[in-house]
Amino acid sequence: MSLTMVLKAFEAVWVDKASLMDKVTSEPSEKMPSTKPTALRFYGSTGVTVTSIYNNSKHAQVLRQDKYWRQSKTAPAETVFLQKEKGYGVGHDQSRFSKFVDYHYIWADETMATNQGQSSATFNVYDYGAKGDGHTDDTKAFEAVWAAACKVEASTIVVPSGSTFLVQPVSFSGPNCAENIIFQLDGKIIAPTSAGAWGSGLLQWIEFTKLKGITIRGKGVIDGQGSAWWHELPTLSPNSEVTGELSKKMPGTKPTAVRFYGSTNVTVTGITIQNSPQTHLKFDDCTSVQVSGFTAASPANSPHTDGIHLQNSRDVLIYSTDLACGDDCVSIQTGCSNVYIHNVNCGPGHGISIGGLGKDNTKACVSNVNVRDVAMQNTLTGVRIKTWQA
């Protein structure tokens, strides 16, 4: 079900025995029952979209969808609840989304229901030749299962628990894929540690490009096995050739573990990405991103291993997430707007950073960033803005 509406919730004042002196409506307060109804409730539904909900009551719960979309009890009246209307991106009137940020709405308390309709078909990697023994190269099986699921809207790819899948660098690409594909990860995916798998160096290991409504969810693990890149690198630039014994094995260019590029309505929830050679999770040129229940884990001395890296992306929500790494827990780069981060555990790491901005005297814009309720432990900084000298 897709629902787009403008709801004006006019307040019917409810009076109990303890508040008879409060403002009342034109009808006697005795006529109103003590149980107060929710104005609008969704229950047991999938694929629900609600935009631009208005509330004229300071404390009334305007919209209820069980487990989802709860309004802060202290939010002011006359504000907008939930996501902005389509078309309010960079260069447009962003007042609606900025109100959402300024008033600290809890945008999605547990799991975002929007754009996650029930699966119409399920595709298991085992049915496409995967072995799941941690030694056999399962890349072709993953490519085949993606090709099949890509043809079916709201399909689900299943990576079963209890198995380990060795996957070479791979790209799961649109734009010709059907929308709302779910990547259900309950097993473990590991990266190759042989130099031959990486050639002269790749920028990412697992990539999702130009997709609409892509979700990665589950209790599984993506392990970049990055220690092969970490030795001796703290004194080198990221693109230098690795010296010493490891120079025979791994290229100097270190890959990001998981990257989303040019995609909309992206959800990552529940999974763990660990031991990435470089950044754990990256969003580049993406819109409407949600990360929740996510864990990034690598040692404090692992260089350049950002937890989450944002670039040229907007309308991003990160919450209920644990980020332990050797660099920024969250890195927000140029071109990002409407970023909301809350209830995140950060550390070890370098804190939450905006920038570096303005390298080589370039123009760099970041706007509407809101960070709150973040626990920092063993971090280099808290929250900082980094700029290059002009």
Query: Do residues 76 and 34 lie in contact, with contact meaning Cβ atoms separated by under 8 Å?
Result: no
Which H or E run contains 97? helix 95-102
What the block records as the tokens of 301 is: 């001395």
Q: What is the SS3 assignment for 228? A: helix
Instruction: For residue 232, give the DSSP letter.
Output: T
Q: Which residues are catalytic?
A: 327, 350
- In DSSP notation, 6-33 reads -EEEPPPP---GGGTTS---SS-GGGS-
Spatial separation of the C-alpha atoms in residues 89 and 200, rounded to whole Å: 38
Spatial separation of the C-alpha atoms in residues 163 and 161, rounded to whole Å: 6
Match 């309720």 to its residue by tokens: 373
DSSP β-ladder status, 221-223 and 63-65: unpaired
Instruction: For residue 364, give the DSSP letter.
Output: -
Spatial separation of the C-alpha atoms in residues 61 and 56, rounded to whole Å: 10
CA 34 to chain centre: 40
CB neighbourhood size of 225 (10 A): 17
